[in-house]
Amino acid sequence: MVRRTRSRLGRGGVCLLVLGGAGYASAQSAAPPAPERPYGLPLRGAEAEVFLRTAEVTKTKALSVGVTHSEQLTLSDGTRTLKAVRKTIDERDHGVKSLEGGGFAVDFVDSWKYEVAAYELNKLLDLELVPPTIERRLSGKDGSLQMWVEGVMTEWDRMKGHLRPPDPEQWNRQIHTIRLLHALTYNTDFRNLRNELVDPEFRVYAIDFTRAFRVQGFIATEKDLQRFPRAPLERMRALEATSLTEALGRWLTGPEIGGLLERRDRILALVAKRIKEKGEAAVLFP
């Protein structure tokens, strides 16, 4: 089993690229091996959240790769025994900070709180991309707890293995939707190919948002935003400060919510521009 993280692996990640043109041709036709064990999310929605909040921790293992010092927990509710990823990092560095992969960040933040916020935003938009994630205090310390996705590879590994999705259009729609989520949350780790997971049916999961939700309102990835899912866009349009504060205010500050709304407005303006240039059918998909 492979799992994800950043350039600092920890749960095996997957690098996701839109297939088409030369990129599609270079990914040689190959089928993923038939899974020998269950894969994907063992629980979803409210059932997963209740399990993560209440199940007893029976085992803790440090994940050896990564800079967030994540842990894999084994949890049991007496009936089911499942795994989850625990993060407690909450690093805030005002001023300019050099990053481990090169470059720098101003007013750097790396926080477990953004993992929970990303999941809650994912729910508001009905994206079903981010694995169930809750806040939980364990051993006297607050942190995020995210359901472990079983039997996945990273997008990095998919590309390295030349594994080609059987349905290119469905694959592309998933990737365009993930790009939208990264742009809306201003996830500065979005280009890490190990921050997306792919299961044997080529379903994609978005992970690692600890460096998301900057206060800046501009879109760093505008050129990547070419196609958009219709229904999530309409839900984005309906977002407003009061409801976002109610849903996300436990994990995001006022300025962070303000930045999210400003990026939302810029994305909607970009969508209108793309439609004007290419036509609605070429820009929006179900």
pLDDT tens for each residue of 225-255: 999 999 999 999 999 999 999 999 999 999 9
Specify the pLDDT at position 25.
26
In sequence order, what are the residues at sequence separation of 6 or more whose Cβ sits closer than 8 angstroms to the Cβ of residue 38?
Answer: 150, 151
Average pLDDT over residues 175-193: 90
Whole-angstrom Cα distance, residue 123 to residue 129?
Answer: 9
Average pLDDT over residues 215-224: 91
Residue 68: predicted pLDDT: 63
Using CA atoms, how far apart are residues 46 and 132, in angstroms rounded to an integer?
Answer: 9
Residue 195 pLDDT:
83
16 neighbors 178 (Cβ within 8 angstroms): yes
Q: What is the mean pLDDT of the chain?
A: 86
Mean local confidence (pLDDT), 146-170: 95
For β-strands 196-198 and 90-98, DSSP reports them as unpaired
pLDDT over threshold 60, residue 108: yes
Length of the chain measured in residues: 286
Q: For the chain, what percent of residues have pLDDT higher than 90? A: 74
Using alpha carbons, list the distances in angstroms from residue 60 to 30, 75, 85, 98: 36, 9, 10, 31
**pLDDT score, position 97:** 57
Structure token pair of residue 66: 């990564």
Mean pLDDT within 126-149: 97
> What are the structural domain ranges in the chain?
4-285
Report, as an integer, the average pLDDT of 130-150.
Answer: 97
Amino acid occupying residue 6:
R
